[in-house]
């Protein structure tokens, strides 16, 4: 029998340990998590849970009894502080755990504002954990004034929930446009118009100079000279892979914990998966921040810990919910040189990204058919001409048979 220890009790960690048992692993499994609750879903935290539409128990990925029933030892409320690679031990709180194989599913942490500009004031929130959302929930009262810092998906989703609850929302994005790092201008235009229709005061090309307040945030100064009076702030300026533990252990770090195509780190007895791990794909090293990647990569790692030697080859997809718009993204748009827009019914729309004649990705807003067909075309390596794709008369499903 061998011992497997998994550090990080999020989506990837939960998927990995469940897969190990599903594959017939008979040894000891220990899952270590910093939070005191069992592994839970993160996407609903800032939406249905914050809106009071989902109770805590429904957030849990699996009933707590699942872990006991499958002889998976949960070490919750503990932070793993040291990995001794030579002795193959992990120190977590007052416990020392030995391992034959170790998996790191440590996820990522939200980027925070510097204390020098008021980032440490009370009432300044990030959106990542159950504790984060519970801390901000009392501030979500109609009529209160909130500043959202950051116009990526985290910031826009927070703005949508706040506006839905009747708050007065100002969002600042220092880049020229919202979603600039992750989406085409056409997608930015779509969501800018959506948020403005819901009363969000959206300011692009404007950065935050400082937050002000005596102990608790009460205002902000923007770099264009504007001063705002506020009740609280939500910071959505991205996440950073949680690599501290791996780095201290001497593992290779490259845009995350560097793993090979099997999920192994630079130490062959240590693996990594999820938001914390970067892996080789198409000649580059990438890191995918999504629920689906966390699950798929973790399950792939579990198979390889059992000896499968199966390279990880994902078909990336993502989603975002804002108001009544469900955005679905298939593929990766990096390197695109043109974007073509296909109108849908009842305000639906899809954006098709191309590099030359090659289809790279699809953004679909309330258009599940465009998303599913785009995803299947990408998986098959097919690239129909943009003129055909964006012609409303084209039956997209027929493209799969062409």
pLDDT digits (tens, 9 = 90+) for 300-345: 999 999 999 999 999 999 999 999 999 999 999 999 999 999 999 8
- Is the distance from CB of 370 to CB of 397 less than 8 angstroms? no
pLDDT band at 386 (very low <50, low <70, confident <90, very high): very high
User: Which residues form the domain of 294?
Assistant: 3-109+239-305
Do 257 and 203 belong together in one domain? no
Please state, in angstroms and rounded to a whole number, the distance separating the CA atoms of residues 299 and 304.
Answer: 9
Do 230 and 244 belong together in one domain? no
User: What is the model's pLDDT at position 52?
Assistant: 86
- Is the distance from CB of 269 to CB of 88 less than 8 angstroms? yes
Q: Where are the beta strands (DSSP E) in 277-401?
A: 277-281, 284-286, 317-322, 325-331, 338-343, 349-355, 358-365
User: What is the model's pLDDT at position 401?
Assistant: 83
Instruction: Specify if 315 maps to a domain.
Output: no
> Last residue of a domain, which of 214, 235, 256?
235
- Is the distance from CB of 253 to CB of 247 less than 8 angstroms? yes
Q: How many domains does the chain have?
A: 3
Name 34's Cβ contacts closer than 8 Å, sequence gap at least 6: 9, 77, 78, 79
> Last residue of a domain, which of 235, 264, 286?
235
Name 350's Cβ contacts closer than 8 Å, sequence gap at least 6: 341, 342, 344, 362, 363, 364, 365, 367, 370, 371, 374
- Is the distance from CB of 139 to CB of 46 less than 8 angstroms? no
Instruction: Specify if 144 maps to a domain.
Output: yes
Residue found under tokens 């969002």: 171
pLDDT over 70 (residue 88): yes
Please state, in angstroms and rounded to a whole number, the distance separating the CA atoms of residues 260 and 73.
Answer: 28
Percentage of residues in the chain having pLDDT higher than 70: 100
Strand 72-76, strand 219-222: pairing = unpaired
What are residue 63's phi and psi, to 5 degrees?
-60, 150
Percentage of residues in the chain having pLDDT higher than 90: 93
Do 261 and 300 belong together in one domain? yes
Name 250's Cβ contacts closer than 8 Å, sequence gap at least 6: 85
As a whole number, mean pLDDT of residues 46-69 equals 92
Please state, in angstroms and rounded to a whole number, the distance separating the CA atoms of residues 136 and 139.
Answer: 6
Question: Which residues are paired to 264 by β-bridges?
Answer: 271
Do 40 and 22 belong together in one domain? yes
Do 354 and 381 belong together in one domain? yes
Do 31 and 172 belong together in one domain? no
Instruction: Specify if 260 maps to a domain.
Output: yes
Rg, C-alpha atoms of the chain: 22
CA distances to 50, 158, 251 from 38, rounded to whole Å, are 19, 24, 28
Name 86's Cβ contacts closer than 8 Å, sequence gap at least 6: none
Do 164 and 197 belong together in one domain? yes
Instruction: Specify if 318 maps to a domain.
Output: no
Do 260 and 361 belong together in one domain? no
56, two tokens: 């805590």
User: What is the model's pLDDT at position 51?
Assistant: 85
As a whole number, mean pLDDT of residues 99-113 equals 97
User: What is the model's pLDDT at position 46?
Assistant: 86
pLDDT digits (tens, 9 = 90+) for 204-244: 999 999 999 999 999 999 999 999 999 999 999 999 999 99
Strand 257-258, strand 277-281: pairing = parallel
Name the residue among 11, 17, 12 with its Cα closest to residue 31. 17
Please state, in angstroms and rounded to a whole number, the distance separating the CA atoms of residues 3 and 24.
Answer: 14
Q: Where are the beta strands (DSSP E) in 111-248?
A: 124-126, 145-149, 168-173, 201-204, 208-212, 219-222, 227-229, 232-235, 239-241
Alpha helices in 216-290 (DSSP H): 244-248
Please state, in angstroms and rounded to a whole number, the distance separating the CA atoms of residues 162 and 142.
Answer: 8
Instruction: Specify if 366 maps to a domain.
Output: yes
Instruction: Specify if 319 maps to a domain.
Output: no
User: What is the model's pLDDT at position 282?
Assistant: 86
Do 89 and 123 belong together in one domain? no
What are residue 74's phi and psi, to 5 degrees?
-95, 125
Instruction: Specify if 19 maps to a domain.
Output: yes
> Last residue of a domain, which of 271, 305, 339?
305
As a whole number, mean pLDDT of residues 378-393 equals 94
pLDDT band at 1 (very low <50, low <70, confident <90, very high): low
Do 101 and 126 belong together in one domain? no
Instruction: Specify if 310 maps to a domain.
Output: no
pLDDT digits (tens, 9 = 90+) for 22-44: 999 999 999 999 999 999 999 99
Do 193 and 150 belong together in one domain? yes
Name 217's Cβ contacts closer than 8 Å, sequence gap at least 6: 118, 121, 122, 123, 124, 211, 230, 232, 233
265-269, 369-373, 390-394, range with the lowest pLDDT: 390-394
Please state, in angstroms and rounded to a whole number, the distance separating the CA atoms of residues 338 and 293.
Answer: 26
Do 15 and 102 belong together in one domain? yes
Q: Classify residue 174 by its DSSP letter.
A: S
Provide the CATH number for the domain around residue 56: 3.50.50.60
pLDDT band at 73 (very low <50, low <70, confident <90, very high): very high
Three-state secondary structure call for residue 17: helix
342, two tokens: 């296909």
């Amino acid at each position: 029998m061998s011992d497997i220890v998994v550090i990080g009790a999020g989506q990837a960690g939960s998927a990995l340990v469940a897969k190990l048992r599903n594959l017939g692993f008979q040894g000891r499994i220990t899952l270590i998590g910093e939070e005191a609750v069992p592994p839970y879903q993160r996407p609903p935290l800032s939406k249905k849970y914050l809106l009071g539409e989902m109770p805590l128990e429904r957030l849990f990925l699996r009933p707590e009894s699942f872990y006991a029933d499958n002889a998976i030892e949960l070490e919750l409320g503990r932070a793993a502080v040291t990995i001794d690679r030579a002795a193959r031990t992990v120190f977590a709180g007052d416990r020392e755990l030995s391992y034959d194989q170790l998996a790191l599913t440590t996820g990522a942490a939200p980027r925070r504002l510097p204390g020098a500009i008021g980032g440490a004031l009370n009432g300044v929130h990030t959106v990542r954990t159950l504790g984060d959302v519970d801390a901000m929930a009392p501030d979500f009262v109609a009529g209160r004034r909130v500043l959202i810092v950051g116009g990526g998906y985290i910031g826009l989703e927070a703005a949508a929930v706040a506006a839905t609850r009747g708050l007065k929302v100002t969002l600042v994005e220092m880049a020229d446009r919202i979603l600039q790092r992750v989406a085409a201008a056409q997608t930015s235009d779509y969501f800018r118009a959506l948020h403005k229709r819901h009363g969000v005061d959206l300011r692009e090309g404007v950065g935050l100079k400082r937050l002000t307040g005596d102990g608790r945030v009460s205002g902000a100064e923007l770099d264009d000279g504007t001063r705002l009076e506020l009740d609280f702030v939500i910071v959505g300026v991205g996440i950073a892979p949680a690599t501290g533990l791996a780095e201290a252990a001497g593992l290779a770090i490259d845009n995350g914990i560097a793993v090979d195509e099997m999920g192994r780190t630079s130490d062959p007895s240590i693996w990594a998966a999820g938001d914390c791990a970067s892996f080789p794909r198409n000649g580059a090293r990438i890191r995918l921040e999504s629920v689906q990647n966390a699950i798929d990569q973790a399950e792939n790692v579990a198979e390889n810990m059992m000896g499968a030697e199966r390279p990880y080859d994902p078909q990336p997809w993502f989603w975002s919910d804002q108001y009544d718009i469900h955005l679905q993204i298939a593929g990766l748009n990096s390197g695109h040189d043109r974007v073509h827009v296909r109108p849908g019914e009842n305000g639906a729309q899809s954006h098709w990204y191309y590099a030359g004649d090659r289809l790279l990705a699809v953004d679909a807003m309330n258009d599940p058919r465009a998303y599913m067909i785009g995803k299947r075309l990408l998986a098959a390596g097919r690239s129909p001409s943009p003129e055909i794709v964006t012609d409303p008369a084209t039956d997209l499903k027929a493209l799969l048979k062409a």
